[in-house]
Amino acid sequence: MDIRVELNANPGVKPQDASKLGFGKIFTDHMFMMEYDRENGWHDARIVPYGNICVSPASTVLHYGAEIFEGMKAYRRPDGEIQLFRPLDNFDRMNQSADRLCLPQIDPDFCLKALKKLIDIDRDWVPSAEGASLYIRPFLFGNDPFLGVHTVNNAVFVIILSPSGSYYKEGVNPVRIMIETEDVRAVRGGTGYAKCGGNYAASMRAGEKAEKKGFAQVLWLDGVERKYVEEVGSMNVMFKINGVVVTPKLTGSVLPGITRRSCIALLKEWGVPVEERLVSVEELAEAVKTGALEEAFGCGTAAVISPIGELSVDDVPYVVNGGNIGEVTQKLYDELTGIQWGKKADPFGWTEAI
Ligand SMILES: *Cc1c(COP(=O)(O)O)cnc(C)c1O
């Protein structure tokens, strides 16, 4: 499929001060779009000026939440070139999400080609300040213009780009986390492993509650027994207990993070034992008491690695590593950000130049 290009005749002003970028507030001059219908498959692939999209008021996405997305970044290397980090993993995961929500499959190689072309056109928007990046948001939604509840015949795939500032404006500081004991994010058999908007809609209430109490994120428990830890906010979570890095296994309600996968690969490379298994709150509380819990952190594309300094269970605080970032946490942060921004060698072949 060819990609038609319509250049933006009124390009925007690129922000000069990276410290004011924030996250997901500014968009580049162009976006990629294509449409799907059952007869024609994906068609009309195009790069067009960034702008509003028109949907029917009856569109499936507005009523039944038929939407999935991805989150990845383009990084400015020290030599000025731009690179992506494991981009095909994102498009492959989008297909897993699409499968769960009965949305059409995409061709990962074609989408990567489209993404590279889009970034190439908007390459001057990729920031070069420390920790800044071009955030990439591919999304796909059902767009049938009628209200019947059915699997979709029409869908839209879009990629938008947003230059974003460093996640850590004041350095990588450990955060306080609230264990959520009422709401659940996902259940086995549900959509937890899919990156879909609906999961986020359902997680807002707990997030707001945590924020009001002064916590940075929610630690989600499993939806059945409310006993096992699953994720922290929209990140995967890892704990170092007696020298072993333990992370919740992918039971179907946990999102299979690419940062999680990369951390596991690095830890194994370094000879640090890793276990993917169920981790209960009880085990963590006990490990804090005995001093066995050495480190805790969240991991995901946005923050890369986010150290956890305190876990709060029903208003009882459990402090991790004296509230400081742990050694392995710091090493993972340095190594991953080093590879992503092209400051360190990439022995795994994770990066892809544009
Ligand atoms: C995107 C996401 C993650 C992290 O995945 P990465 O591929 O590492 O960015 C973790 N949990 C949830 C719920 C997510 O949506």
The whole-angstrom separation of Cα 190 and Cα 176 is 28
Per-residue model confidence (pLDDT) at position 111: 98
Closest atom of ligand 1 to CA, residue 260: 8
Taking the centre of ligand 1 as the mean of its atom positions, its distance from the CA of residue 348, in whole angstroms, is: 21
DSSP H or E segment with residue 336: helix 327-340
One pLDDT digit (tens) per residue for the chain, 354 residues: 999 999 999 999 998 888 888 899 999 999 999 999 999 999 999 999 999 999 999 999 999 999 999 999 999 999 999 999 999 999 999 999 999 999 999 999 999 999 999 999 999 999 999 999 999 999 999 999 999 888 899 999 999 999 999 888 777 889 999 999 999 999 999 999 999 999 999 999 999 999 999 999 999 999 999 999 999 999 999 999 999 999 999 999 999 999 999 999 999 999 999 999 999 999 999 999 999 999 999 999 999 999 999 999 888 999 999 999 999 999 999 999 999 999 999 999 999 999
CA of 236 to the centre of ligand 1 (A): 6
| Tokens encoding 243 | 């020298």
SS3 for 61-73 is: HHHHCCEEECCEE
pLDDT at 16: 85
Q: Which of 70, 136, 195, 200 to mutate to test the pocket of ligand 1 (most atoms within 8 A of CB)?
A: 195
What is the CATH number that goes with domain 175-340? 3.20.10.10
CA of 251 to the centre of ligand 1 (A): 15
The reported pLDDT for the residue numbered 138 is: 98
Q: Decide: helix, strand or coil at residue 244.
A: strand
Identify the pLDDT of residue 20. Answer: 85
Phi, psi of 150 (to 5 degrees): -160, 165
- State the closest ligand 1 atom to the C-alpha of 89, by its place in the atom list counted from 1: 7
pLDDT tens, residue by residue, 287-307:
999 999 999 999 999 999 999
Q: Look at ligand 1, atom 5, and give the residue with the nearest C-alpha.
A: 257
* Fold match flag (4-166 vs 175-340): no
- Ligand 1: centre distance to CA 317 (Å): 26
The whole-angstrom separation of Cα 241 and Cα 291 is: 9
Which of 126, 62, 114, 63 has its CA nearest to residue 87?
114
Nearest ligand 1 atom, CA 93: 7
- How far apart are the CA of 255 and the centre of ligand 1, in A? 6
Question: 193, 178 in Cβ contact below 8 A?
Answer: no
The amino acid at 354 = I
Domain boundaries, the chain: 4-166, 175-340
* Measured distance CA(144)–CA(158) in Å, rounded: 16
Would you call 299 helix, strand, or coil by DSSP? strand
Residue at 183: amino acid letter: D
Residues 149 and 139: their CA atoms lie apart, in Å, by 21
Residue 349 · residue 318 · CB < 8 Å: no
Task: Quickly tell me which residue has 């922000």 as its tokens.
Answer: 15
CB 233 within 8 A of CB 273: no
pLDDT, residue 19, reads 80
Pocket residues for ligand 1 (CB within 6 Å)?
A: 71, 195, 231, 234-236, 255, 257-260, 300-301
Report d(CA 179, CA 229) in Å as an integer. 9
Q: Per DSSP, what are the bridge partners of residue 308? A: 175
Of 236, 237, 250, 306, best ligand 1 pocket probe by most atoms within 8 Å of the beta carbon: 236
Q: Atom of ligand 1 at shortest distance to CA of 72? A: 9
Round to whole Å and give the CA distance between 60 and 150.
Answer: 9
> Average per-residue pLDDT in the chain?
95
CA 98–ligand 1 middle distance (angstroms): 16
Question: CB under 8 Å to 255, separation ≥6 — which residues?
Answer: 192, 193, 194, 195, 231, 234, 236
- Whole-structure pTM value: 0.96
User: Does domain 4-166 match CATH 3.30.470.10?
Assistant: yes
- Closest protein CA for atom 10 of ligand 1: 235
Q: Which atom of ligand 1 is nearest to the CA of 185?
A: 13
What span, in angstroms and rounded, lies between the C-alpha atoms of 322 and 102?
Answer: 46
